[in-house]
Amino acid sequence: MVRRGDILWADLAPRSGSDQTGRRPVLLVSNDGFNDTPTWRSLIVVPLTTAVQNQSPTTVHLPLGTASLSRESLVLGNQITTLDRTKLLHRIGTLPGLYLQQVERAILRALALPAIP
């Protein structure tokens, strides 16, 4: 069972344009009500990148070792997407709550939504 905040290896192929592609870590951000329902095939994720020089207001920096990541990474809040759960390969770790809150704020900025108190 996967949970909101889990970082998982996923197969993001095929994709196009500037979308993140290939086998890479993603952060699961969908509601656990969806995540726990096997018939709900699509889950909402945010891809990670190791191109840490590309920081912006919609990215969150994760230091090496965060959630058992083997490389320093960025969560790309501006590339929120849905994936069929069959594209999720295996769990790497779980993002600590403080970082998950930062990701939530990055997603809100990417969608131009007001901050949640």
Inside any domain, residue 102: yes
* pLDDT of 27: 98
Q: How many domains does the chain have?
A: 1
- Report whether pLDDT(95) > 80: yes
Mean pLDDT in the chain? 90
CA distance 117 to 73: 27
And the tokens for 29? Answer: 């951000």
Partner residues linked to 45 by β-bridges: 28, 81
pLDDT in tens, 42-87: 999 999 999 999 899 999 999 999 999 999 999 999 999 999 999 9
Q: Please state, in angstroms and rounded to a whole number, the distance separating the CA atoms of residues 10 and 8.
A: 6
Q: Is 37 exposed, middle or buried (0-12, 13-18, 19+ CB in 10 A)?
A: exposed
Place of tokens 């070792």: 65
Which residue range(s) make up the domain with 86?
A: 6-110
Query: Are 74 and 59 contacting, i.e. CB atoms less than 8 angstroms apart?
Result: yes
Q: How far apart are CA 103 and CA 25, in angstroms?
A: 15
**Does the pLDDT of residue 117 top 80, yes or no?**
no
Q: Is residue 117 part of a domain?
A: no
Residue 1 counted as domain residue: no
The fraction of the chain above a pLDDT of 90, given in percent, is: 81
Residue 39 maps to a domain: yes
Does 18 have pLDDT greater than 60? no
User: What CATH number is associated with residue 99?
Assistant: 2.30.30.110
pTM across the whole model? 0.89
Please give the single-letter amino acid code of residue 6: D
